[in-house]
Amino acid sequence: MFSLALQYVISQPVSPIKRLRRDQRGQATAEYALVLLGVAAVALLVVSWATHTGKIGDLFDGIFETLLGHVKG
């Protein structure tokens, strides 16, 4: 049974175009992974910079002051 299936797979001709498509299927996944790694690295740098400079605290202070100003009227 296995040998029949193996013979069938081996006997089926694969066109060069199909072979190229099959070979590049994982390429997009690898590219997305690299892009996500780059974005994560940039995000970490921005968060690190913002944390050390106190900009995040200033941002939240400004947001809460504005919200409280609108609530108090």
The model's pTM is 0.47
If you search the block for the tokens 């694969």, which residue do you land on?
14
Residue 57 pLDDT > 60: yes
Residue 64 pLDDT > 70: yes
Alpha carbons 10 and 1: distance in angstroms, whole number: 14
Q: What is the mean pLDDT of residues 25-44?
A: 90
Confirm if 29 and 35 have CB atoms less than 8 A apart.
Answer: no
pLDDT, residue 44, reads 96
What pLDDT does 21 receive? 64
Burial of 50 (0-12, 13-18, 19+ CB in 10 A): middle
**Confidence category of residue 12, pLDDT binned at 50, 70, 90:** low
Where exactly are the structural domains of the chain? 31-73
The predicted-structure confidence for 14-28, as pLDDT tens digits, reads as follows 666 666 666 666 678
Nearest-angstrom CA–CA distance, 43 and 48: 8
